Structure 1
Amino acid sequence: MQLNQPARTTARRENLAERIHSQLKEDILSFRLLPGDRFSESEIAERMDASRTPVRQALYQLEREGYLEVRFRSGWQVRAFDFARFEELYELRIVLEMEAVRRLCTGDSGPVAHEVLTELHDLWAVPPAQRHTQGDHVFMLDERFHCRLVEAAGNSEMTRLHADICERIRVIRKLDFERAERLEKTYQEHAMILQQINAGNLQAAQQLLLEHIEASKAEVRKVTLHMLQQARQQALQGPETATLS
């Protein structure tokens, strides 16, 4: 069935709003837009070569997610970076993944558990020569690893909530995959977690998972603080206005 013209227009606008949202979110989390930076809808529309309607949709979505605040007399402003919020999201992620591991170790899991564990073992328990070395690619595989573990636990609401959390921390989690050392550790730690799950060693599997996520979180925090410091120094050396180019 073909969409009529108004429906096609609405779909295009929504797709454009999503692209604008994704770009601005990445700009904020990569500190191309700094906490405190201000801008107008018109500036974003000009930068994105878009009308103000999809821009406004994207900005209000970012406001709901806690990245922006609207100043009705002076446009929009980037909120201060909220480390406490990301700590809370990581804590919730840990709760869900620890429960998933419990179910997998005790056999209280979904019907695809064996298939998923085999799939993950074949991907991660490999010699160094067979490991991927591109950070962006390993990042995507890493997210899939954690999502598949939760999916294998067999609770659709857990899977949905976990996927939502992963989406909300995705851009900042990429910062953990910029050094070769972290890529190697990801392979090693995933393989060890899977080994303990397959052996039914609940305590060991959960401990390894916890250490793995905590190490990643610490690395992300360290890199984020470094990037924020660098961005602030560059901002002091340049114009006092937000960089929207």
Structure 2
Amino acid sequence: MRASERAYAQLHSDIINWRLAPGTTLGEVELSERLGVSRTPIREALAKLTAEGLAEPQSGRGTVVSGISLDHLDELFELRSALECRAAELAARRGDRDTFLELHRKLANAGELITEDDPSRSGYYRLAGELDSAVDAAVANHYLNQALKSLRVHLVRVRRLGKDNPARLRDAAREHAAIALAIANGNPAVASAATTVHLDNSLRHLLSTAPDISSEPHD
């Protein structure tokens, strides 16, 4: 793996997992020393992160981790609704019934995975990721899949704003189960409607619990 790819992978992970908070200055010298690579790979990594919207130039400070505000949430969920509802419709038309029935079964019992013994909720998020992957495979549309992949980078960051609330996650699991069942039943309208319900509930929860996080200085 090239040095720029290693630097990008590390910084990408640090940003989406909030080890680098919004507004944190991404100084080339400091990052070069921390990651053990020259400044040229750091510049390449920062350029890629900026293109993805995870970093942004800021006057007088260089490149910083991009902020997340409530305005950004509204915009993000507008795009999410357009992409995910359409993907659910296409999956209902093209997906394998047995695959989604099995996902429905797992998701209906996903509340058991949301425990204090697993504060990262890794089991639940892994299962939610299985549903995303199954929808992507069923859609079989390269351009839609690429758009969803780009969107999910930002959704991982946003998820942390909701504080991984166990009650909300259990509701989300039931909502995911409803989406999976609608796809398994081959009903595009119901799949889209179930997706809309899930997205509306997710956004409402975020708006009620998340602070307005923007690009505040973090050196």
With structure 1 as the length reference, what TM-score do the two structures score?
A: 0.69
- Cα-to-partner distance string for 1:203-230 (whole Å, 9 max, x where unaligned): 443222111112223333444416x49x
Amino acid paired to 2:57: E
Using the aligned pairs only, state the percent identity.
22
Closer, same or farther: CA 13–31 of 1 in aligned 2, 3 Å: closer
Q: CA RMSD in A?
A: 3.4
Give distance in 2, aligned partners of 1:34 and 1:149.
Answer: 31
* Aligned match of 2:97: 114
**Is the contact between residue 161 and residue 206 of structure 2 (CA under 8 Å) also seen in structure 1?**
yes
The answer on 1:162 being equivalent to 2:152 is no
Closer, same or farther: CA 218–57 of 1 in aligned 2, 3 Å: farther
CA drift at 1:172: 2.1
**Which of 105, 130, 133 is 1:144 aligned to?**
130
- Cα-to-partner distance string for 1:132-178 (whole Å, 9 max, x where unaligned): 53323322322331342243134333223222221343222344461
Give distance in 2, aligned partners of 1:128 and 1:78.
Answer: 34
The answer on 1:153 being equivalent to 2:129 is no
With structure 2 as the length reference, what TM-score do the two structures score?
A: 0.75
Closer, same or farther: CA 81–179 of 1 in aligned 2, 3 Å: closer
CA drift at 1:13: 0.6
**Which of 167, 179, 196 is 2:182 aligned to?**
196
Amino acid paired to 2:218: A
The answer on 1:242 being equivalent to 2:215 is no
**Is the contact between residue 83 and residue 148 of structure 2 (CA under 8 Å) also seen in structure 1?**
yes
The answer on 1:50 being equivalent to 2:37 is yes
Q: Which has the higher contact order (CA 8 A, sep 6+)?
A: 2
Give distance in 2, aligned partners of 1:153 and 1:65.
Answer: 23
* Aligned match of 1:19: 9
Question: SS at the partner of 1:225?
Answer: coil
**Is the contact between residue 20 and residue 55 of structure 1 (CA under 8 Å) also seen in structure 2?**
no
User: How many residues were matched structurally?
Assistant: 214
Give distance in 1, aligned partners of 2:38 and 2:173.
Answer: 45
The answer on 1:90 being equivalent to 2:77 is yes
Q: For the pair shown, which has the larger CA radius of gyration, 1 or 2? A: 1
CA drift at 1:39: 5.3
CA drift at 1:21: 2.5
**Is the contact between residue 110 and residue 170 of structure 2 (CA under 8 Å) also seen in structure 1?**
no
Map 1:199-238 → 2, pairs under 5 A: 199-225=185-211, 228=213
Closer, same or farther: CA 164–87 of 1 in aligned 2, 3 Å: same
Q: 5+ unaligned residues in a row in structure 1: which ranges?
A: 1-10, 233-240
Give distance in 2, aligned partners of 1:189 and 1:114.
Answer: 18
